[in-house]
Every structure is written in structure tokens, then in C-alpha cells.
Amino acid sequence: MLELDFMGWREMDVAVAGGGEVDAMLYSARLVYSRWQVQCKIGQITMAAVAKEVGMQKVTLGTVILLVSTGPVTDAAQTYRKQIISTTNLHIVFIDGAALERVIKDNATLIDILRQQAQSAIIEKPTPQGLRLPTPSDDSSGGATPAAGGAGPAKAKRSEKIEPTLFAPTYTTTQGQMFCGDSLEILPSLIQQGIRAKLIMTSPPFALVKKKEYGNEDADAYVRWFEPFISLFKQVLEPDGSLVIDIGGAWIKGIPAKSIYQYKLLVTLCESGFYLAQEFYHYNPAKLPTPAEWVTIRRLRVKDAVNNVFWLTLDPFADADNRRVLTEYSDSMKALLRNGYKAKMRPSGHDISTEFQRDNGGAIPPNLLQISNTESNSIYLRRCREEEVKPHPARFPSSLPDFFIRFLTRPGDLVLDPLAGSNTTGAAAERLGRRWLAIEQNETYVEGSRFRFEPESERPKTSYIISAQSNIIPSAMPLFASEREQ
Ligand SMILES: C[S@@+](CC[C@H](N)C(=O)[O-])C[C@H]1O[C@@H](n2cnc3c(N)ncnc32)[C@H](O)[C@@H]1O
């Protein structure tokens, strides 16, 4: 299948493996010569295991190290792999436990796994000065995406050019582009064009598992569904960028117990090289008390009113500044600032110094974001009703992307929502002066999302009372005048 030829099993010969052991040696001489050093393991792929293979490569003269394991890859092993790939001619491929299970079920997925890692090497290998990945402007036939950004260095002479498939956006605004299609097809093209996002702000379709009876097994199925996105997200993110995932909980059918699918996803993301920068909770006080059986009828559980919001980064010191999302001071803090505070020791032993008297322009928000999702009078829904377009049934409130866009990006940065639904993210980015790209596979949702960008003057007049802020509680409102654009 891979068009590799076999050299030998379990090589322990000093001449071949320097006294170490390699499970298999393979080679290909189809287009260019490559030599594959294959090692299979049980359990985790650790940094030490990778380092041992890299050491042996000096003797085997392998050009590719393939490490296959039943377990996950540790963060240290991922970091080490990246370092080796970016500083040497070697390529290192990991097939971890989850990927191995996919290969066992369908061995054709091996090609996808290798292809994905080859794609990631395109950005992991440093580009020598004067060379660059092709951008849409290289293609004289047009179809460029303006969101790709900067012109880049002078055009390089290349004997062979990688031609990305260009997808045409369904609509374009001053700041962004909406694509209708499968993210798993469109993202590789964007990556190949050199497009990088500062923030991926998204909410995956968790209803996918809701329909099923899900215990742990379906949590695993959910993670398997999500897995192909992980490698693409890593490639499309700027090194100091962020991935923010809003994901709701789900109940196991028939019993008062919850699925842990979102936590399994979080573990998988962190084992794939992401850091959990911080977890947030999106609290919607207007949530209905469901499941009725457990909450209102048998009274066994309380109202479930939070969604998990995971903020993940590739670099723990990724760009972020909480001064961009300050909230209004509480009344007591305002009084304190007005009247002053006598510095003293608290009963807890904390020294409350005069530092607390300084007006920093607002309070640092907590990781509990209280936002009601009651947008029944929003322009989007009104226009969907008027034009008889089915509105998206699971939108997040615009204050959610608004908060993270301000917190984690600067004006002009690129924000991406690859599972965009009604494009709440794109509309928030547009208002905040950020460039945006959005991808949604459902045509009706894409059509409806256009209403979010209609100029006020072109909207038909109606008697509805519009309150753009109706879904935001005052304490979550930004304080910076320049940011108050909603
Ligand atoms: C929870 S919704 C997002 C809602 C969105 N945040 C909003 O406010 O409107 C998830 C969306 O992902 C879309 N989706 C699922 N798989 C996709 C894929 N492979 N490519 C593009 N869109 C996809 C679904 O059609 C669905 O509309």
C-alpha cells in the first residue's frame, strides 16, 4: 500500500543497528530513495523512546523514523519530534494508540495518517530565506483569498510547485470570507496556501452524540470523529495562537449520569501537543431545567446551566492580555476606589495592601462567563423569519466569541471558525476589526449567516424592537470605548 520494500525484521546487527534493535527496516526507491526505520512499542511513546531511535538512525542511515504504539504520545516526545524535524533532514512519524485502532479497523487510514503528518512537516521544516510556500497570488488564474495576508518575500524559483486546491468563498465581506463545504477538505488547502490563524474559535456539533446512547464507548467515537481536525488545527494556528472550543455536556441515556466525552476530547487534545491554557465555563442562567425526568420530576439533579469552554494553546505563553477584556468594577470596589482603603491584614492572613486601591480601568473577569443565550429578537432570527430561511438551532451567543477575540487577538489578526454554523464568530470578528474565515458544510446555515452582515440601510424596516445587548449581562460588558462596538 505504501510502496515500501522490505529490508529486514528485528535488526540487532551491530552493523545495521549499532547494537540496538530496530523492529523493521524498509525502503522505497520509487521516486526518491528513502529508508524507513520502524519501531513498535506497547504503551506511551516517550521522549526517551524517540531519542533512542534518533540515535540509532546515525547507524541505520534511515531518513524516516516510524514509531508505532498502543499508547499516547507524551508532550515531551511531541516537542522533541518537532525539534528534530525542524533542525535535521529526518522525518519522524508517530502512529499512537488511537491512530493504530483506526488502522486496525481500516488499514487505508494509514495513508491519511501519514499524509497528515507529511502536511504538518511542510510547516515544521523551516523555510530557508527567499523560499516560501505558494500563496494564491502565485496563481495567475485567480481565485485568491485576500484573507491570506501579506505579500511575503520575492517570488522564488522552484522547479516543482505544490498547487493547493482553491475553494471559492460563498460570500466575502470587508474583513472575511465564508466557505460552504467540509472543513476537512478546505482546511488543508488553506494551510497549503500559507494561511495561519491567530484564533480558532469554534463550537463543534455535540448534538452528534446526543442522539445516541452514549457511555464511554460513544465518548471514544466522538474523539475519533474529532481527531482529523486536531492535526489540521495545529497546522493552521500561528505558533502563539489559541484554540477555543465551546462544548456542552451530555447525559447518558436512561440514567442520571453524564457522559465525559468532552473531557476525553480535552485529554486527547493535550496529548496531541496542546496546552490547556485555561478552562472557562459559559453560564447561561436562562437554560431550561433538563432532563426533566431527573431535574423537575424526580428532583435527583439540579439545573445544568454551564458549557465547558476549553482554551488551548501550542505555546503556554501564547498571546493574551486580560486588559482587553476588563469588566465594570463592582459597586463595593467603586466605593473603595472613591473612598480609599486602610491597608490591613485580613483574618485569612492576606495582606490587603494599598495596591488594591489603584484604578486599573476595570475588574479582571473570572473564568465564569455569564451570558444568556436569549436572542429571540436578534436581527439574524428576524431576517431568517422574513426570508423563510431555517435558522441555525445551536448558535452560541455573540458575546462568547466577542470575549475571546478581544482577549486573544489584536485588530487585523485572523480568526477562524471551521464549524461555523450561522457564523456568529465571523460577525463578531468583523465588528471588532479582525479578519476572519469561516467554514460550514450546511448550505442553509451559510445562506442564513449572510443576514449577519447586511448593512443597516439595506435591511427591510420592521416593527421589532432590536436590542443588540440583550444577551449580555452588564458585568460582562467591555469597558474600553474602542472595543465597545457591538
Ligand atoms: C454547534 S454548530 C456551530 C454553531 C455556531 N457556533 C453558531 O453560533 O452558529 C456546529 C456546526 O458544525 C458544522 N459541521 C460539522 N462538521 C463539519 C465539517 N466537517 N465541515 C464544516 N462544518 C461542519 C455543522 O453543520 C454545524 O452547523
Q: How confident is the model at residue 485 (pLDDT cuts 50, 70, 90)?
A: very low
Work out the average pLDDT over 12-41: 83
**Residue 465 in this model has a pLDDT that exceeds 70:** no
Calculate the average pLDDT of the chain: 82
Nearest CA to ligand 1 atom 7: 395
Sign of the torsion angle spanned by Cα atoms 225, 228, 231, 233: negative
pLDDT over 60 (residue 320):
yes
Average pLDDT over residues 65-70: 94
Out of 347, 363, 379, a domain closes at 363
Q: Which ligand 1 atom sits closest to the C-alpha of 417? A: 6
On whether both 82 and 213 belong to a single domain, the answer is no
User: Residues lining ligand 1, judged by CB closer than 6 Å?
Assistant: 182-184, 203-205, 392, 394-396, 419, 421-422, 424, 439-442, 445
Q: Is the residue at 23 inside a domain?
A: yes
Pocket of ligand 1, candidates 262, 440, 444, 445: which has the most ligand atoms within 8 Å of its Cβ, to mutate? 440
158 pLDDT tier (thresholds 50, 70, 90): very low
**CA of 439, closest atom in ligand 1:** 21
Examine the domain organization and report whether 224 and 343 are in the same domain: no
> 82-96, 128-142, 290-304: which range is least confident on average?
128-142
The whole-number average pLDDT for the span 268-285 is: 96
pLDDT band for position 310 (50/70/90)?
very high
Distance (Å) from CA 378 to ligand 1 centroid: 20
Same domain, 115 and 210: no
Mean pLDDT of 22-37: 88
Q: Quick check: is 309 in a domain?
A: yes
Do both 303 and 359 map to the same domain? no
Tell me, yes or no, whether 225 and 83 share the same domain: no
Per-residue pLDDT tens over the stretch 372-413: 766 555 889 999 999 999 999 989 999 999 999 999 999 999
Report how far ligand 1's centroid is from the alpha carbon of 349 (Å).
49
Q: Any idea which of 188-192, 264-268, 346-350 has the lowest mean pLDDT?
A: 346-350
Tell me the CA–centroid distance for residue 206 and ligand 1, in Å.
10
Note whether 119 and 65 are same-domain residues.
Answer: yes
Residue 478 included in any domain: no
Distance (angstroms) between ligand 1 centre and the Cα of 447 equals 14
- Atom 14 of ligand 1: nearest residue by CA position: 419
Q: Among all residues, which ones are annotated catalytic?
A: 203-204, 246
Ligand 1 atom nearest residue 208's Cα? 15
Is residue 479 in some structural domain?
no
Tell whether the model's pLDDT for residue 475 goes beyond 60: no
292 and 429 together in one domain: yes
CA of 205 to the centre of ligand 1 (A): 6
Q: Degrees (nearest 5) of the Cα angle 125, 127, 130?
A: 170
**Last residue in a domain, options 107, 124, 141:** 124
Number of domains in the chain: 3
pLDDT reported for residue 161 = 57
CA of 230 to the centre of ligand 1 (A): 16
Same domain, 317 and 334: no
Q: Stretch 465-477: mean pLDDT, rounded?
A: 31
Residue 258 scores a pLDDT above 80: yes
Q: For residue 479, what pLDDT is reported?
A: 27
Whether residues 354 and 288 fall in one domain: no
What percent of the chain has pLDDT above 70?
77
Q: What is the mean pLDDT of residues 330-342?
A: 75
Same domain, 247 and 357: no
Among 69, 91, 124, which residue terminates a domain?
Answer: 124
The residue segments making up the domain with residue 412 are 171-322+369-470
Say yes or no: 117 and 250 in one domain: no
Average pLDDT over residues 411-421: 97
* Digit-coded pLDDT (tens) for 194-222: 999 999 999 998 755 445 554 555 778 89
- Residue 51 located in a structural domain: yes
Whether 144 is covered by a domain: the verdict is: no
> Residue 137 falls within a domain, yes or no?
no
Predicted confidence at residue 8, as pLDDT, reads 83
- What is the domain-level CATH number for residue 407? 3.40.50.150
How would residue 462 be classed by pLDDT, with cut points 50, 70 and 90? very low
Residue 68's CATH number: 3.40.1350.10
Q: Within this chain, do residues 339 and 197 fall inside the same structural domain, yes or no?
A: no
Quick one: which atom of ligand 1 is closest to the CA of 202?
6
Residue 34 lies in a domain: yes
Our mutation pick for probing the ligand 1 site, out of 402, 441, 446, 451, counting the most ligand atoms within 8 A of Cβ, is: 441
Which range is least confidently modeled, 136-140, 161-165, 458-462, 470-474? 470-474
Closest ligand 1 atom to the C-alpha of 206? 1
Nearest CA to ligand 1 atom 27: 421
Cα of 191 vs centre of ligand 1, distance in Å, is 20
Range of weakest confidence among 35-49, 99-113, 264-278, 409-423: 99-113
Specify the pLDDT at position 110: 87
